[in-house]
Amino acid sequence: MLLEKILVLHEWEMNKFPFFRTMIGRHIYVCLARNVFTDKNEEEVSIKKLLSSHFFTDRAIRLKIREMEKAGFLETKNGHKDQRVVVIKPTAELRKMMEEHSLMLNRVVSQDIIILEKNRQKNE
C-alpha cells in the first residue's frame, strides 16, 4: 500500500520537476530540501558540504547545478564568511516547489494512512 503511494508521488514528481529526471538533479534537490526543512537550516552552505557524495563526481554535480541555476531554481555565490567558498541556495521558485512537494506527499500518503507528527526535542 505504501509503495503504491510512493509510485503515485514519483509519477507526479517526474511531471512536475524537470530536474528529477536525473539522479544528480534529485540528489541536489533532496540535499537542499533537507537543509530547508530541518532545524539545521543554514543561510549559507557550501556546495561541497551540502552535496558531497560518493555516488556522483564533483564535476557532474557542478554541471547539474549550472543547469538548475540557468533554469532559475538555484543561486550560487561566494560565501559571506569566506569568499573562497561557493554557497548554494534555492530560489523563491524552488522553495515554493518544495512546499508544494511537501503538501503533495502529505495528500498522497494521508489518503489511506494516518500521519501523526512526533514532537521533537532540540536535544535529539
Report pLDDT digits (tens) over 76-95.
Answer: 888 777 777 788 889 999 99
- Quote the pLDDT of residue 121: 56
Higher pLDDT, 43 or 100: 100
pLDDT at 123 over 70: no
pLDDT of residue 53: 82
CA distance 82 to 67: 25
Measure the CA–CA gap between 45 and 82, rounded to whole angstroms: 11
**What domains can be seen in the chain, in order of their start residue?**
2-106 (1.10.10.10)
Length of the chain (residues): 124
Please tell me the predicted confidence (pLDDT) of residue 89. 87
Q: Which helix (H) or strand (E) holds 40?
A: none
**Is residue 28 a contact partner of residue 65, using CB atoms and an 8 Å limit?**
yes
| Per-residue pLDDT tens digits for 25-74 | 999 999 888 888 876 656 566 777 777 788 888 889 889 999 999 999 99
- Per-residue pLDDT, 40: 62
Q: Would you state the pLDDT for residue 99?
A: 93
The cell numbers describing 19, all together, are 530536474
Mean pLDDT of 97-119: 84
Residue 17 has pLDDT above 80, yes or no: yes
C-beta separation of 22 from 63 below 8 A:
no
